[in-house]
Amino acid sequence: MAAAVAFFRRPRNWWYVLCVAGAGAGVGSRGTGGGLVLEWWLASIACLLAGWALLSFCLRGEHFPRALRNTALSLAPLGLQLSHSLTGGMGVPTQLVAFGDALTAGLLVGVVYALWIAPLRLRPVRWMLRALADRRTPIALAIIWAAWMGSLSIFTWWNVQQYSQDMAIYEQAVYNALQGRGLVYSCDIRHSGVVMHRFADHFEPIIYLFVPLYALWQSPVWFLLAQVALPASGALAVALLARRWYRIPQAGTVFAITYLLHPGLYAALTFDFHPVVLAAPLLLWALHLALTERPWAAMGLFVLAMSCQESVPG
């Protein structure tokens, strides 16, 4: 009880609680049309609690009683299993499903081993702390995550395992813009046969950036690659922000892991293409640039983020 009271006396610790509740409720409130609101909410809670517990391990002895901290962190890899389950019905090959299960089991065993031998001060724990504190770790994790999510996204599209209505709209609009006809399309099933401009549905001028890319190679894969590359870079922005706000060597990597494992990202990246997904990493980088006193670069990214959809400025 004394440890819990001491924990909540620290003002910065309320940030963790608000993160868990706010992000969990925000993602869960979207729903999926299939009654998975509660699962999304629980997966969000589990994923953020995993990062919270990992950060508390880096601050071991300061926040949680040792036994409670070790037990919580031992169960942290289960957050990966919860977020991994959200992709189960999207045409993911069985090899990737088996890999996800094996990765979860391996992390579970490895973390339990590392934590419960911590009092012995053996090498695995020291190695893990050094790896988490290394500034190159978030970069490596972002590259691995982008390669995995990129292959998953392209696989589901190539095998027609995802809803492709929006992808078709954007590809037709970009093709017509390349031909000098503007961002017009006629394949919207809600308005069959009606020629519309993209801005009549959503104001997304960032789509014009895909026109020169489409001129090089006429393929919707450009949309999928951009929708993976930018969110992956967001992990680096999160790491930089965490290092700025927390004087803990491992904070950047811990928050980057939490960001990359969040189920909201998986749902967004495996469900067609939507420019609004690009706004989140752009805003993260804009915030980083603003805090490092580069206002013009920050303003440029803020404007670019607002061009992803008319709802972003609100």
273-308 per-position pLDDT tens digit = 888 888 889 999 999 999 888 989 999 999 998 888
Q: Considering only 9-18, 176-185, 255-264, 293-302, which range has the smallest mean pLDDT?
A: 9-18
Is residue 88 assigned to a domain?
yes
Report the alpha-carbon distance of residue 210 to residue 17 in Å, rounded.
39
Q: Which amino acid is at 32?
A: T
More confident residue, 210 or 62: 210
Is residue 205 assigned to a domain?
no
What confidence category does residue 237 fall into, taking pLDDT thresholds of 50, 70 and 90? very high
Single pTM value for the model: 0.63
83 to 77, 239, 252, 255: CA distances (angstroms): 10, 21, 21, 16
Sequence-separated contacts (24+) of 55-60 with Cβ below 8 Å: 55/16, 55/248, 55/250, 55/251, 55/254, 55/255, 57/115, 58/129, 58/132, 58/248, 58/249, 58/250, 58/251, 58/254, 59/248, 60/118
- 33 pLDDT higher than 50: no
Domain count, the chain: 1
More confident residue, 211 or 119: 211
Report the alpha-carbon distance of residue 242 to residue 197 in Å, rounded.
41
Q: Which domain holds residue 83?
A: 2-159+222-306
Greatest mean pLDDT range, 76-80, 110-114, 240-244: 240-244
Is residue 190 assigned to a domain?
no
Instruction: Please choose, from the candidates 265, 239, 261, 210, the residue with its C-alpha nearest in 3D space to the C-alpha of residue 76.
Output: 261
More confident residue, 27 or 120: 120
Tokens of 31: 């729903």
Per-residue pLDDT at 197: 78
The whole-number average pLDDT for the span 127-156 is 83
Tokens of 172: 């037709």
Report the alpha-carbon distance of residue 292 to residue 300 in Å, rounded.
15
Is residue 189 assigned to a domain?
no
Instruction: Please choose, from the candidates 269, 243, 236, the residue with its C-alpha nearest in 3D space to the C-alpha of residue 141.
Output: 236
- 93 pLDDT higher than 80: no
Is residue 299 assigned to a domain?
yes
Is residue 46 assigned to a domain?
yes
The whole-number average pLDDT for the span 6-30 is 47
What confidence category does residue 30 fall into, taking pLDDT thresholds of 50, 70 and 90? very low
Per-residue pLDDT at 84: 52
The whole-number average pLDDT for the span 27-42 is 46
- 27 pLDDT higher than 60: no
Mean pLDDT rounded to a whole number for the chain = 71
Is residue 207 assigned to a domain?
no
Per-residue pLDDT at 232: 92
Q: Is residue 184 left, alpha or beta, with left meaning phi > 0 and alpha meaning psi from -120 to 50?
A: beta
Is residue 64 assigned to a domain?
yes
Using CA atoms of 253, 256, 261, 265 in order, give the dihedral in degrees to the nearest 10. -170
The whole-number average pLDDT for the span 14-31 is 43
